[in-house]
Amino acid sequence: MKMKNVCTLFLLAVVLQAQNSFAQKYDTLAVAFYNQENLFNAIDDPENDDTEFLPSAKKEWTEERYEKKMFNMARVIRSMNNNNGPDILGVCEVENQTVIETMVNKHLSDLNYQIVYKESPDNRGIDVGLIFKKDKFTLLSMHADTVDLPDHYPTRLILSASLLAKSKDTLHIFINHWPSRRGGAEASEINRVTAAQTLKADVDKLLAKSNKANIIAMGDFNDEPVNNSIKETLNAQPYTCADSEKPSKGFQKNLYNLAYSKKMNGEGSYKYQSEWDMIDQIIVSGNLLTNKSLHLLCNSFEIYRPDFAVTHSGKYEGAPFPTYGGVRYLGGYSDHFPVLAKFLTSKK
């Protein structure tokens, strides 16, 4: 055998051994967020204003359409993470705990998910929730924080949960759906700044106890990484892989926005009037950049676009394939693409 071939085989053996050693040390965790675009059942809830999603409404929201919607959302969720579903998934625009439970129990029962949920004061019942794989995490605690807007109009809670990973690391998860831009981005900005202040106060409490707190804040923020609420109030800084390789002084007290580079590249999770908006984001604390037993996989953040959930023709080609176009039923998925990031956790 020629010396060149011997060297090639030797290098290949070294690479395979390194890969095997790495696989023995680490598991990969997929963390995602997905706006469900009005996952409502077809039953009238006297406690919420759900008249838009009833059989008698203009949208003619029926039990059959609700069942198809649940199937579609579960199809996207299951397809993530190489058809294994995400290990942690934040959701928003769900009517109540029952619809999440029904989707998980009926369509995702084999994925061993547990739900964290609390009914919010939002008048339309558009809530946030969290599901996670209970064979990979133990729920330590949960909390829901009220966002007290200047006009006291009720809005979504910020849902948080502390999860214990198999590596014995504690993950603090915050699920957000900040107030919309209804009335204009500038006029409504104070509402998202208020939500940012609420989240920032919660994050600061954790970091005051330990600058090694592992925090993931994700959601539909209705603002982009460059907007004041995110960049200034929350102080979520742009993230690049260099931040993991050579972190700056005091990095553990900082938040890093994994979606920032996508925004700078002109990408987005939501398309509004032919413009891409990067409003669905995942933000992490500095410790998750370097923590050996649980840390971010560099360059793993993605806008998840399965081909079947993309619009393939017409004016909105390339955009998410939604359930409705105005009041016209399309039978699609969501008007948002999910976002996803991966973390490496040591096997213990």
Q: The CATH number of the domain where 143 resides is what?
A: 3.60.10.10
75, pLDDT greater than 90 = yes
pLDDT at 16: 45
Q: Residue 48: which pLDDT band, with cuts at 50, 70 and 90?
A: confident
Mean pLDDT over the full length of the chain: 92
pLDDT in tens, 107-117: 999 999 999 99
Phi, psi of 87 (to 5 degrees): -80, -30
- Report if residue 320 sits inside a domain: yes
pLDDT at 329: 96
Domain assignment of residue 1, yes or no: no
Structural domain contains residue 22: no
Confidence (pLDDT) at 320: 98
pTM: predicted TM-score of the whole model, two decimal places: 0.92
Region of poorest pLDDT, from 93-97, 125-129, 138-142, 299-303: 125-129
Question: Which tokens is 115 given?
Answer: 């739900």
Q: Which residues contact 322 (CB under 8 A, 6 or more apart)?
A: 37, 330, 332, 333, 334, 335
CB 205 within 8 Å of CB 199:
no
Q: Report which of 153, 222, 221, 158 is spatially closest to residue 185, judged by C-alpha positions.
A: 222
DSSP conformation class of 167: T
Residue 21: is its pLDDT beyond 50?
A: no
Q: Is the separation of the CB atoms in 140 and 162 below 8 Å?
A: yes
On whether residue 17 sits in a domain, the answer given is: no
Question: For residue 18, what pLDDT band results from cuts at 50, 70 and 90?
Answer: very low
Higher pLDDT, 45 or 237: 237
Distance CA 251, CA 228 (A): 21
Among candidate residues 143, 42, 40, 38, the one with its CA nearest the CA of residue 93 = 38
State how far the Cα of 224 lies from the Cα of 28, in Å rounded to an integer. 28
User: Is-contact 217 255, C-beta < 8 A?
Assistant: yes
Residue 35 structure tokens: 């706006």
Question: Count of alpha carbons within 13 Å of 145, Cβ hemisphere only?
Answer: 21
* Range 30-57 average pLDDT: 91
The residues near 278 (Cβ < 8 Å, ≥ 6 apart) are: 224, 225, 259, 262, 263, 267, 268, 269
For the segment 93-121, the average pLDDT, to the nearest whole number, is 96
Q: What percentage of the chain reaches a pLDDT higher than 90?
A: 82
Residue type, 57: A
Cα–Cα distance between 317 and 324 in angstroms, integer? Answer: 15
How far apart are alpha carbons 305 and 253 in whole angstroms?
Answer: 33
- Is the pLDDT reported for residue 10 higher than 80? no
**Residue written as tokens 């009335």?**
183
DSSP 332: -
* pLDDT at residue 348, rounded to an integer: 65
| Tally of structural domains, the chain | 1
Q: Lowest mean pLDDT: which of 112-126, 284-298, 303-317, 318-332?
A: 112-126
User: Per residue in 233-276, pLDDT tens?
Assistant: 999 999 999 988 888 888 999 999 999 999 999 999 999 988 99
The reply to whether 55 falls in a domain is yes
More confident residue, 343 or 18: 343
- Helices within 48-96 (DSSP H only): 63-83
Name the residue among 315, 228, 238, 226 with its Cα closest to residue 277.
226
Q: Domain residues for 316? A: 27-343
Q: Is 286 part of a structural domain of the chain?
A: yes
8 A C-beta contact, residue 104 and residue 115? yes
